[in-house]
Amino acid sequence: MNSNRRSFLKYTGIIGLGAAGAPVLSACSVIKPEGGRTRPQQFNMSGYAAPKIDTVRIGFVGLGNRGSAAVERVSYIDGIKINGLCDIRPERASESKARIKTTGHDPVFYTENADSWKRLCEREDIDLIYIATHWALHTPIALYAMEHGKHVAVEIPAATTVEDCWRLVEMSEKTKKHCVMLENCCYDFFELLTLNMARQGFFGEIIHCEGAYIHDILEGLFEKEKRYDLWRLKENAKRNGNLYPTHGLGPVCQVLDINRGDRMDFLVSVSSNDFMMEQMAEKRAAEDESFKQYVGKPFRGNMNTTTIRTQKGKTIMLQHDVTSPRPYSRIHLVSGTKGVAQKYPLPPKIATSHEGWLDDAAFKKLEEQYTPAITKKVGEMAKEIGGHGGMDFLMDWRLIDCLRNGLPMDMDVYDAAAWSVIGPLSEWSVANRSGSINIPDFTGGSWKTNKPLDIELKAGGTTGVRKANK
């Protein structure tokens, strides 16, 4: 490990933040990191096109709600073969195999023990490892898979510590294997529309963006059947910050050309107290003694607000709240010198002045003008197959299409690291009375010359979609 980077990680005081059940450090025990550190880039993965793969052979690790749904969605895509299914629960592998909708797949099960995923990653007839486990396993599996010559698609967040973000970057550069974070919200229809509008200058110069993950899952956090070993409850009981930043952050980072012309410079973060989770823990402990371990614990604050400034002077506001009884919202606001767009909590709206939102007819006209190529090609099929309204399928289809056509990824390892690192950095800021903290430059300075994301399917868009077996 580069000695300068090791020093940077050491002085952040958050090398292991969120790992192995470590508590959030108090303000007096956390040392502020040195600012502006980076490290030499081994190889630039931004814009990198790996060799084409005619048939993408896939192994899935983690077959809970998201993993099993991914198996079903991906099975519709032409040019893939599902060769392996891995989960600590054997029944999950059987259930996931039953969800495969097309022929030509004979997956081997890997369910013997907690390390069975290693044997799947070691197979020679696997090109892509698709990771949908609990958060703590995202980075270890991704690293092991790339080390064994596999491309990686990993659920969000890709990492929960600063050091693990760096490890992902270094391994991807070293092996020249893609590490794509599965941020499905980048493929929601309005987000794609506003990205294309920004590309074509509709908003003028972008000034400010907002994103969020406001989703009341309080009851679900305490349901043993919902998530394996209550892993997400444990995350919320030991960390205080924006634990789930990428749903709101990913789409606006693409609009702002983060890592491709601009980069996130520093952040400040503040959390409210917890007014709900401890009460729920007490209620559940009265019904089930196994929940007594959570009584009296300092849960994460209900609302976290994080503000980010970019090198070019743009700002981003992110919010995280998974316990308050509020309507679902990712906000998604794009504000520029010529116009503004917003979705949530109201339906999508666009405006070009302070006088009010455009009417439905004007909105429809803009939608027809700026709908990007990926939506035109796959949008209706995506809605039919599903996955959060179709954005999950759009994400999976684009991933496979890029691998099959040898195209650069829409979301590379620098995005995975930069979007994920907001979690641990926000924890540091919260623990230090909302102190300012620098955001690492995972690109090693190449953000200045990296090209913006291509959403026009150049040389791609050739992958078909198969019908389900009858």
pLDDT tens per residue across all 470 residues of the chain: 444 443 444 334 343 343 333 333 333 334 444 444 568 899 999 999 999 999 999 999 999 999 999 999 999 999 999 999 999 999 999 999 999 999 999 999 999 999 999 999 999 999 999 999 999 999 999 999 999 999 999 999 999 999 999 999 999 999 999 999 999 999 999 999 999 999 999 999 999 999 999 999 999 999 999 999 999 999 999 999 999 999 999 999 999 999 999 999 999 999 999 999 999 999 999 999 999 999 988 899 999 999 999 999 999 999 999 999 999 999 999 999 999 999 998 899 999 999 999 999 999 999 999 999 999 999 999 999 999 999 999 999 999 999 999 999 999 999 999 999 999 999 999 999 999 999 999 999 999 999 998 878 888 999 999 988 75
Domain 186-372+413-448 carries which CATH code?
Answer: 3.30.360.10
Nearest C-alpha neighbor of 301 from the set 185, 417, 434, 138: 434
Distance CA(208)–CA(185), nearest Å, equals 19
pLDDT at res. 1:
46
DSSP 385-432: H-SGGGHHHHHHHHHHHHHHHT---SS-HHHHHHHHTHHHHHHHHHHT
DSSP 172-228: HHHHT--EEE--GGGGSHHHHHHHHHHHTTTT-SEEEEEEEEE---HHHHT-TTTSG
Alpha-carbon dihedral of residues 403, 153, 330, 309, nearest 10 degrees? -90
- Tens-digit pLDDT profile for residues 305-322: 999 999 999 999 999 999
pLDDT at res. 37:
53
* Unique residue bearing structure tokens 């924890």: 427
- Tens-digit pLDDT profile for residues 92-103: 999 999 999 999
Distance CA(250)–CA(210), nearest Å, equals 11
Nearest C-alpha neighbor of 423 from the set 269, 278, 264, 298: 269
Distance CA(445)–CA(434), nearest Å, equals 27
Q: Which residues contact 461 (CB under 8 A, 6 or more apart)?
A: 373, 374, 377, 401
pLDDT at res. 470:
56
Cis? peptide before 251, omega within 30° of 0: no
pLDDT at res. 24:
38
Helix axes 138-147, 162-175, angle to 10 degrees: 20
pLDDT at res. 454:
82
The one-letter amino acid code at 91 reads: E
DSSP 275-318: SSHHHHHHHHHHH-GGGGGGTT--PPPS-EEEEEEETTS-EEEE
Sheet-wide strand order for 264-271: 349-351, 340-342, 333-336, 206-214, 315-321, 304-310, 264-271, 437-438
The one-letter amino acid code at 251 reads: P
Three-class DSSP category at 91: helix
pLDDT at res. 171:
98
Alpha carbon of residue 358 to chain centroid: 31
pLDDT at res. 468:
85
Token pair for residue 412? 């590379």
Alpha carbon of residue 93 to chain centroid: 24
φ, ψ for residue 458 (rounded to 5)? -60, 130
Taking the domains of the chain in order of start, what are their residue ranges? Answer: 186-372+413-448
